[in-house]
Chains A and B, each alone.
Chain A
Amino acid sequence: MTQAKTLNPTAATFKALKCKECGAEYELAASHVCEACFGPLEVTYDYNTLRRSVTRETIQSGPNSIWRYRSFLPVATENVIDVGTGMTPLVQANRLARRLGLKKLYIKNDAVNMPTLSFKDRVVSVALSRARELGFSTVSCASTGNLANSTAAIAAHAGLDCCVFIPSDLEAGKVLGTLIYSPTVMAVQGNYDQVNRLCCEVANTYGWGFVNINLRPYYSEGSKTLGYEVAEQLGWQLPDHIVAPLASGSLFTKIYKGFQEFIQVGLVEDKSVRFSGAQAEGCSPIAQAYKEGREFVKPVKPNTIAKSIAIGNPADGIYALEIARKTNGSIASVTDAEIIEGIKLLAETEGIFTETAGGTTIAVLKKLVEAGKIDPDETTVAYITGNGLKTQEAVQGYIGEPLTIEAKLDSFERALERSRTLERLDWQQVLV
């Protein structure tokens, strides 16, 4: 059993844990819940110090990873775990933009984030760096797959013991992509919310660092880098509109926090950015609350192919709801069939193979444009958070097949002619 202890950083710019609900402050320990009202705890910073000490130049001269924004992240020491996470491409998506009827669309492509091909590497790099500072030697998580991959990989790199909990029905690629790092994997017979609940009870009794439970205030800050990078990659400007997937809602709220912090310390000009969220219809508690004008999020039981975002009881749901409303954004949901179409559309127009969460984001992007909720002139950024090679089951049967031929020129030519005929028939069907 490992013991958590508190550090009192002197040079660090982060100051305390503060309850988002009632404002109570706590020391910088491994703790995520307000003792008074059970609200979520969040890290606070000394923005005056940050404003004086951080410039665009100091950031640009830093490492080519999330750690160029170290002053905005809750770690006290120089000894961070840097496995090249972050600084993923911001791709100008002209072909997809034309297809949808937008003028300036970018894809923030975390499908190629390092080391495990999802945005989770950002939050885990921060969480495990902090876990080490707090004295943990075993780290853990409740995961829908991507987080397990990331926690296991980065724990292996850092030499930490690792035990991850996943729902037992995950995609094969996500299970294998965890097992390869040789952690202990608990495949729980139940959905993510049940896994999460079990982990809360385990976190109560074992002295482990659960990245998204007792380390959650530190962990979630890692997602702010998705905001910082987009601002920097747009030439130190904020976009007009962003679209991101909603699972717990944490990523969405932290992109917002990232933009706000850059405004506050003077790194970018103040500007209102519209925030729109994407959910799968089979697990859309936040989208339902948005649609019905409710102030609270009613938990649901997930039933969708978008397993990575299938959280029926989202911890930050109400905060995501608030942000979408106050920024004049939207929250929408799409069917599993639309999600598959979204995956294919992004692949065919931009050469980016995303997983189901990304398919959800693209399908919702399309839906919002068609509904007139995204102005064609807005500079829009869609966040692609995971890689399609991990959820191959989702598109199996919906894509083409290779043409098997003999190693002879005439066999090739016959097959080519056949495929062109099929293509023409396809077009005719579309026209009819």
Chain B
Amino acid sequence: MAVKVLIPTPLQKFTNNQATLECDGSNIAELIESLEKSCPGIKSRLCDEQGQPRRFLNLYVNSEDIRFLDGTETPLKAGDEVSIVPAVAGG
């Protein structure tokens, strides 16, 4: 069940400089675990000490912010696209 993940520049050191990855997971939480397996160390960058996505990080499933969906419980299906985008921009 492959999901396409877009990796921002600051995290590409964990992905051999790849800007996109194929990954598995039936929801966002599982996807993060699966990312950690293939790119060790990435989870501690994505999540805070409580295991929640950091407050200055936006996660989108097919262009929708997961905070408008079910947060880390947001379900994923094959072919979905997940973007990881630092929040600190604009204005």
Residues A33 and B65 in contact, CB atoms below 8 Å apart: no
Complex Cα gap A35–B12 (Å): 11
Contact with A along B31-54 (1 / 0, CB 8 A): 000000000000001000000001
Answer yes or no: B57 CB below 8 A from chain A CBs: yes
Residues B67 and A33 in contact, CB atoms below 8 Å apart: no
Complex Cα gap A193–B63 (Å): 11
Answer yes or no: A32 CB below 8 A from chain B CBs: yes
Please tell me the size bucket of the interface on B.
Answer: 20 to 34
Partner of A298, one of B63, B67, B88, B91: B67
Partner of A37, one of B54, B68, B83, B90: B54
Using CB atoms, name the residue of chain B closest to A318. Answer: B55
Residues A213 and B89 in contact, CB atoms below 8 Å apart: yes
Residues B88 and A142 in contact, CB atoms below 8 Å apart: no
Chain A residue numbers with a CB within 8 Å of B89 are 32, 142, 196, 199-200, 203, 210, 212-213, 216, 315
Residues A192 and B88 in contact, CB atoms below 8 Å apart: no
Answer yes or no: A250 CB below 8 A from chain B CBs: yes
Q: A194-B63, A299-B68 are in contact. Are A248 and B91 (CB under 8 A)?
A: yes
Secondary structure of the B contact surface, majority rule:
mixed
Chain A residue numbers with a CB within 8 Å of B8 are 200, 204
Chain A residue numbers with a CB within 8 Å of B6 are 201
Answer yes or no: A249 CB below 8 A from chain B CBs: yes
How many contacting A-B pairs (Cβ < 8 A)? 86
Answer yes or no: B75 CB below 8 A from chain A CBs: no
Please tell me the size bucket of the interface on A.
Answer: 35 or more
Partner of A250, one of B60, B65, B67, B91: B91
Contact with B along A236-256 (1 / 0, CB 8 A): 000000000001111100000
Residues B55 and A296 in contact, CB atoms below 8 Å apart: yes
Min distance, Cβ A315 to any Cβ of chain B, angstroms: 5
Answer yes or no: B21 CB below 8 A from chain A CBs: no
Answer yes or no: B85 CB below 8 A from chain A CBs: yes
Residues A33 and B90 in contact, CB atoms below 8 Å apart: no
Answer yes or no: A430 CB below 8 A from chain B CBs: no
Using CB atoms, name the residue of chain A closest to B88. Answer: A40
Residues A299 and B86 in contact, CB atoms below 8 Å apart: no
Answer yes or no: B62 CB below 8 A from chain A CBs: no
Residues A201 and B67 in contact, CB atoms below 8 Å apart: no
Known: A200-B85, A311-B91. 11 other contacts (CB 8 A): A33-B88, A40-B56, A193-B90, A203-B89, A204-B9, A205-B19, A212-B89, A249-B91, A299-B67, A313-B58, A315-B87
Question: Can you give 13 contacting A-B residue pairs, CB < 8 Å?
Answer: A32-B89, A33-B10, A33-B56, A38-B88, A40-B88, A192-B90, A193-B65, A200-B89, A213-B90, A216-B88, A248-B90, A299-B65, A314-B91
Residues of A with Cβ closer than 8 Å to B?
21, 32-33, 35-40, 142, 192-194, 196-197, 199-201, 203-205, 210, 212-213, 216, 220, 247-251, 296, 298-299, 301, 311, 313-316, 318
Residues of B with Cβ closer than 8 Å to A?
6, 8-10, 19, 45, 54-58, 60, 63, 65, 67-68, 83, 85-91
